[in-house]
Each structure stands twice: as C-alpha cells, then as structure tokens.
A and B are shown apart, each in its own frame.
Chain A
Amino acid sequence: MSRPDGSSGGQRPVGPRSLGGHSRDSLPSLGDFRITDGPRRGSLVVLQLTGRLDGRAAQLLQQRCNEVRTQGVQHLALELSGITFLASSGLGVFLAETEEFKESGGSLHLVAASSVVASVVNLLNVGRFLSLVPSVDDLVVKNSR
C-alpha cells in the first residue's frame, strides 16, 4: 500500500501520521524532532534521535520502540548525540522502554548521551536504571567478547 508520507516497511508508517487518534490535519507539530534509522549492527538495531525530545516527540519515540519490539528486535540502541532538549516525558520513555525491553528478554541502550541528557540523568540519579554507553562501537565490541 502506498503511504501518504512515502515511507515504507513495518506495520505502520513512522512519523506524525502514526499517532493514531488525531484527524490528520489537527496533528500537533513535532518541532525539529527526528528519528532516523542508523546502521544495523548484527542483532542490534540503532536509531538516531535528533532535536527536542518533548512530550509529543516522546510519544512518537515510544510508538517507534514498540513497533521495533513487536517486529521481534531484542536489542535497540538510541543514539542521542543530536538531542538538544530532554523533557521529563523523554526521560520517562527511556525508563519505560528500558523496562519493556528487559521484560521481553532484550535490552535498550542510550548511546552518546549529550550533556542535556546526562545532566537530567545525573540529577535524578537514574543512571542505574539505564544502560548508558559512549558509542555503538563500545556496545558491539564489548558484547562480542
């Protein structure tokens, strides 16, 4: 089926249109937040996040993570170097999805957290709930040892 936004693959299109429940025209703007597919590393799927991760973006991210999980992907890395703002909702999704991936026998990793991410993580002392790694290479090398 041809998608109105030109995307392909997956059960549902990724992008503002996949936020079911809105009529398409009334969808709030997502600002500059983007999710792009990074290079896949073996069983590890990488998504690159850029822009402001606020409430609306957080919900989009959660839906994308959910899609990835239902497609049977076990290990997901979110590359965060391009995140310019992290709202509580964004952190909430990181925490919730880390639990969800654990629950389904997999793992979620936060890669190259920018200072905006790191400062919130430190402030709330939630590093112990999250897997924070400096780079995807680190993750792959350490994992293959």
Chain B
Amino acid sequence: MARKTQELPKPELAAQPQGGRQSRAPAGTGAERGSGSELQRHSLLSFFELSKELDYSLNIYDFADRALFNFMGHLGTPHSALWLLPPDDPAGLVLVRSHGLPESVARQIGAQCMETLVDLLLRDRRIQLRDDLHRIFTADEMELLRSRGLSLFAPLLAPDRLLGIIALGTRPGDRVDPFEIEVLQASVEFFAVALQNSIFYHELQESVRELRQANENLQELDRAKNEFVSTMHHELRTPVTVMQMYAESLLEELPENSSQRAHLKVVLKQTEKLKKMLENLLDFSGLSGNRLEVHCQAGDLGLALQQYYDNRRNGVAMTLHDFRLALPDGLPPVRFEERRLRQVLDILLDNALRFTPQGCHIVLRAAGDDTVGSPRVRIEMEDDGPGIAPDMLPKLFTPFVQVDGSLTREKDGLGLGLALAHRLVQAMGGEILAASEIGHGMRLSVLLPRA
C-alpha cells in the first residue's frame, strides 16, 4: 500500500504549455527547457531570495537548511549535502545536513570523496563539476557520486580557511547553464560570509553564557568553602571548649601561688585566644546558613525545558552536535527550582558535549514516570556517542572521578559536575540515574516528584 500512490499516472499540470513534457526524455539543452532568459531570471531571483533568508541569529543547522533548500530550488535538484570543517580539526569533515540521500551515505561520501577535494577547493576557490574531476576521483567514487545524484561541489570559504563543502545535484540530462553556475558561485560566496558572521555571533553568545556559568560556579565554590570553614569551626571548637573546662576546674583545685597555677593560667589564656580566633574565622567568612539551599515550587516543566532548549540550542549547534527537544503534550506540574534545574541540565548537556564526537545527536526529552511508587516526571539527556561500560556507571556521580582515569585522558575537568548534579537533584527531592553501553551512547535521567 505504501507505494500505491506513487504508481499513479501523473496528471498534467493545468498551466503546462504542452502536455507530456514531464514524461519526455530529458531535454538536451537549456534552450529546449525554457527560454534562457527565464532561467537566468530564476537564478537571479534565487540569489535575491537567499540574501533575504539568511539571518545571523540562525544556528548552523537552520543556516544549512535555508541555504540547501534555496540551492536545490535554484538548480532543480532533490539532492544536497553540507559538511563543515571544524576549526580545531581541519582534517575531519562533519556532515551537518543532507537532503535526498540517507545520512549514512552522506557521511560515507564526506569521508571518501569530499576530503580529497579540500585541497583543490582551497586552491581553485570555485565550484567544481563532478565530470571534470576524473583525475581526482576513482571510478568507484565517481559511481558513488553519480548514483546519489551529486554532480557539483562548492567551497564555503572564509578569508583564511575552508569552512566547509556543499554538494548538489543538477537536473539529470540537462546541460548546466554557465550563467546558473555563475550565480550559484555568488550565492555560495554570500552564504559563506553570512555563515562566518553567524559563527562569530554565536561564539560571542557562548562566551557570555560561559562567563555567567563560571560566575555561578565561583559562587558555588564560595559556598563550599564556607561550608568547609563552618565544619572546621565546629570540629575545632568542641575540643577547645573541653580543654578550657578541665583547665578551669584544675585551676580551682590548685593552691594559690603555686608555679603550676601560673603555667595553667598561660594554657587557659591561650585556649581563650584560640576560641576567639575560631569565632573570628566564622565571622570573617560571613557564614550564616551555608547549606545547599533549594527553594522548590510547583511549575510548568515543559515551559522551563522549552526555554532552556531555546537558550542553548544555537550554542550547541556551534559545536557541531545536533541537539533536539522532544516534549510530549500535557506534562504534569513538577516541584523544582528553575535555577537549580538549569544548573543540572547544563551539567548533563556539557557532559554529553564533552564526551561525544562532533556530528553526534543529543536529545533532551521529558515524560511521565509512574513505574515507581510515587508519581514522578522523567527528564532525559540522551546522546549517541561512544558511551561507557555499565560497570563504570556507579562511579559517575562520585566527586573528582572521571571514568577515564588514565594520566593521558583526553578530557580535562575535575569530575565535579555530575557529583554536583546528583546533590542538586537530591536536594529537589529527586533522583538521578545513568544508563549506558559501550558504543551505544549514554542516557542520564533526572526523576523529579510531581507537584
């Protein structure tokens, strides 16, 4: 049944000048297809439309879609793909979007064919047609590109480097009009500049966010310091008080003018001094309630997650990770503190970003969870990165532990993040769980009580 409607005979278009054109063999030249000037007009219109469609605040994935759809409609092809070269790894192309061919095939083409094109595109700085590239591609690579309808490759150039590569199809059987290529070349150059501007814009946004977060972390550190001082104060004051009490009672029992009495007075004076110092220490730290304070109230979790997602999505796209949100309708109200939840989500998301390679997918989702006694709501951060062995999972929430404990481990950081997330979630009356398998990504779940 699936294919049935596809088998329908195609009716003619009402506005089509002569019937049957669609079923005819592809025209050999542009002139047979429509007048050359109409095609040129269409090319120029596509370029003008593109200039209106690119908005610097769009993220990389939206940017890619806007441009690819424009280029596809410009040339009349259902096939396109866009790869970017991360600045820190100029050798590895990351697939950002592909249309009209499966993602896995587009990745394969990126690794197999596009990487060989990088040098040529950097040198020539112009669109290359597949059929002129016999010297570069093997027969197998040519066949792969041909079978997937990709026949034209355009460099995305910044002044100092290659940002990425766009591959497009062309109308099979039709000669590519040099004018169309010329306009497309201008479109692609324009797109590259806009993309570079957007990258700068988002880098700035990210820096501001990171600074804010660093500031919050410092506050957290300050709180931890205060807690430490407070604990030490309590621990030290008790023995000092006991020492003082015994020294005082001993003093009462000793005869007047004994030399021991003078020595004991010195001990007492020093004990008093020690107590004073401890009090000062406490005053100096300005301690009052220094426990991890959380103020939960019933709130709309869906809205909070949507806002969080809107806020982080563009920044995440900068790292070439595809970040998505999946929210069901009708999430029940949950008890949480928004600032603390944001802190937890930041930790989970940053964890996913740090431990998955570029091009991976990260999904934030929420759902009701009635499997355990009290009704709760489950928030998940799931990635399709390398994952970790299940026996390592219990260590995840221990402070100062990274699962890769070797001296040569790739990722820096103290390993405090997930431990803090664990404490925050517990303070909100919830629970945090991890599930993973090597090669199958990682899922961190936060369960919060319903209101």
Contact = CB atoms under 8 A, between A and B. Distances in A.
A124 to B, nearest CB: 3
Contact of B314 (A9, A21, A120): A21
Interface in A95-134: 95-96, 98-100, 102-103, 105-107, 109, 113-115, 118-129, 131-134
Interface residues of A, number: 65
Nearest to A54: B49
B425 interface: no
A5 interface: no
Which interface residue of A96, A100, A115, A139 has the most chain B CB atoms within 10 A?
Answer: A96
Interface residues of B, number: 74
Interface string B304-334: 0000011101100100000001111111000
A59 B100 contact: no
Which interface residue of A87, A106, A114 has the most chain B CB atoms within 10 A?
Answer: A87
Contacts of A9: 329
A1 B70 contact: no
B34 A11 contact: no
B49 A122 contact: no
B2 interface: yes
Nearest to A58: B69
A123 B38 contact: yes
A122 B17 contact: yes
A1 B330 CA distance: 4
A21 B52 contact: no
Contact of A95 (B8, B66, B73, B311): B73
Contact of B42 (A24, A89, A118, A124): A124
Contact of B58 (A21, A109, A134): A21
Contacts of A95: 72-73, 76-78, 99-100
Contacts of A106: 2
Contacts of A55: 49-50, 52-53, 66, 69-70
B83 interface: no
A98 B78 contact: yes
B269 interface: no
Which interface residue of B5, B57, B314 has the most chain A CB atoms within 10 A?
Answer: B5
Interface in A22-51: 22-24, 26, 28, 43-44
B232 interface: no
Contact of A88 (B57, B69, B317, B330): B69
Contacts of B329: 1, 8-11
A124 B53 CA distance: 21
B227 interface: no
Contacts of B26: 125, 128
A135 to B, nearest CB: 9
Nearest to A9: B329
Nearest to B35: A123
Interface in A60-110: 62, 74-75, 87-93, 95-96, 98-100, 102-103, 105-107, 109
Interface string B86-97: 000000000000
A14 to B, nearest CB: 13
A105 B3 CA distance: 6
B15 A119 contact: yes
A88 B10 contact: no
Contacts of A102: 6
B358 interface: no
A88 B70 contact: yes
Which interface residue of A54, A119, A134 has the most chain B CB atoms within 10 A?
Answer: A119
Given A1-B303, A88-B73, A92-B69, A107 B11 contact: no
Given A23-B310, A118-B15, A120-B42, A11 B27 contact: no
Contacts of A107: 2-3, 5-6
A129 B78 contact: yes
B16 interface: yes
Contacts of B15: 113-115, 118-119, 122
B45 interface: yes
A132 B8 CA distance: 10
A46 to B, nearest CB: 13
Interface string B51-77: 011010111011001101111111111
Given A20-B325, A119-B15, A131 B5 contact: yes
B33 interface: yes
B171 A118 contact: no
A92 B11 contact: no
10 contacts: A21-B58, A43-B1, A55-B53, A62-B65, A87-B46, A107-B3, A109-B5, A126-B77, A127-B21, A131-B6
